[in-house]
Amino acid sequence: MTFFVHNAFSSGSDFPFPVLNRLQPPPTFPLTQVVLPTPVVSHLPTGARLHLLANDAQPVLRLQVVLPAGKCHEPLPGLAQLAARMLTEGTATRSAREIADMVAFYGASLDCEAGPDRATLTLYCLARHLPTLLPLVQEVLAAPSFPEAELRQMQQRISQNMRVERQKTSFRASEAMNCQLFGEDSAYGRPFDEASFNQLTAAELRAFHATAYAPAGAELFLSGDVAASAAAVATGLGQWQPAASPQAAPEAPAAALAAAPASVVAVPVEGSIQASLRVGRRWPALTEAQTPELLLLVKILGGYFGSRLMRNIREDKGFTYGIHASVVARERAASLVIGTDVNGESADATRREIAYELTRLQEEPLGDDELETVKNYTLGKLLGETTTVFEQADRYRYVVLQGLRPDYYAELVRRTQAATAAELQALARTYLSPADMLTVVAGGAVPEPA
């Protein structure tokens, strides 16, 4: 038997099959658009809006009920988080165990979490099980009982988790950064107070639930294999009535958002040799005209593995395993945050290198190769994050809740492709001055003055 060895890299080969030349990268093509499905939006009799995003590729669906019941709407600190977590701890006809058993029996998941602005109840299930689970969702939303025993257990559980979190330098740094940027009296900056949290009562939860969980303020997002379920959701949640309360909770006042001082704040963490750094400032809202260019600028600074901060502080200096920069967009305010964890002895040097990279973006125009690379990465990542119907629904929900234009992502793609080095340098001079940045260092040695 004779064996022939073919050299894939020789020229003039008469090998009958095409050969992949692994020395030559595959061609790339520019991303021209990101196409999201067009939702079907309807108004229910309760005043809620139902957003349908259909895709029957898999027989699964997700129902999300989003309500103005986050920290910004709580009259007492901690009410929003506690109310959201207590929704599935018992209703007028079902105990917490019965709710959990029913959800598990159908292979579903049901949970509720409260963020800074909104609370979101999320159900994942097979499409064929939604008619059975929908009455449970309605009851959890409209008639939670807030039983005393489960309430005390939940308070203890959350308090214990927060005590564990507050031992971490990363948590303490982020907490102090938000407090400094937005003010400790603002919902965005208010730290967790265990003593007052544990004093919250079931009566206060019922009063908050009666106002914040009213259907008139709800946005309902139903995505996935929804064809057979859309009418049932519209009918069922269209009959959702708010809970009665003897005394409605008052509207929480909109706290004034404090202007953050440009300074260095030290947060002692006993026994910690690691330091967590947060460097940042208040940032323009996503509705501002220059948002696409600003997001690209932040990506260049610290938004991907090949960013300026990663190449300098991780790859060159070896101070950290990772450092990132991102825009944290909330409904009432946004912020730029640079975050990393380092050995305490490297904290001051890391601060100086961050300031150096901020200054370099102001003084030196970007090279063509770097700009092209970060554009391709940004658009490729955006495309990769819209491949499933649930990811597409997340993008659409983001547009709705942030009050963005319907063509936000189309404009983001177009403006990212068109951004120039001169535009980005001008924005860096306006928004990335080290003198305008607040720095928080949690743990390690007390930092030297800037």
The SS3 of residue 50 is strand
**pTM (2 decimals)?**
0.88
Of the candidates 345, 358, 355, 280, the one whose C-alpha atom is nearest the C-alpha of residue 318 is 345
Distance, in Å, from the CA atom of 399 to the CA atom of 331, rounded to the nearest integer, reads: 11
Domains 40-238 and 264-443 share a fold: yes
For residue 29, the model assigns a pLDDT of 67
DSSP 26-46: PP--------PPPPEEEE-TT
Residue 444: left if φ>0, alpha if ψ -120 to 50, beta else—which one? left
Residue that is written with structure tokens 């709800």 in the block: 218
Instruction: Classify domain 264-443 at the CATH superfamily level.
Output: Metalloenzyme, LuxS/M16 peptidase-like (3.30.830.10)
DSSP 122: E
Strands (E), 137-293: 219-224, 264-267, 274-283
List % helix, strand, coil for the chain (3-state, nearest 5): 45, 20, 40
Neighbours of 329 (CB within 10 A): 19
Instruction: Classify domain 40-238 at the CATH superfamily level.
Output: Metalloenzyme, LuxS/M16 peptidase-like (3.30.830.10)
For residue 15, the model assigns a pLDDT of 56
For residue 450, the model assigns a pLDDT of 53
CB 444 within 8 A of CB 268: no
Question: What's the burial of 38, exposed, middle or buried (CB within 10 Å: 0-12/13-18/19+)?
Answer: exposed
pLDDT in tens, the chain (450 residues): 444 444 444 444 555 666 777 888 777 666 667 777 889 999 999 999 999 999 999 999 999 999 999 999 999 999 999 999 999 999 999 999 999 999 999 999 999 999 999 999 999 999 999 999 999 999 999 999 999 999 999 999 999 999 999 999 999 999 999 999 999 999 999 999 999 999 999 999 999 999 999 999 899 999 999 999 999 999 999 888 876 543 444 444 444 444 455 689 999 998 889 999 999 999 999 999 999 999 999 999 999 999 999 999 999 999 999 999 999 999 999 999 999 999 999 999 999 999 999 999 999 999 999 999 999 999 999 988 899 999 999 999 999 999 999 999 999 999 999 999 999 999 999 999 999 999 999 998 655 555
Q: Residue 121 phi/psi, 5° resolution?
A: -95, 125
DSSP 186-212: STTTPPP-HHHHTT--HHHHHHHHHHH
Break the chain into its structural domains and give their ranges: 40-238, 264-443
Residues 6+ apart with CB under 8 A from 18: none
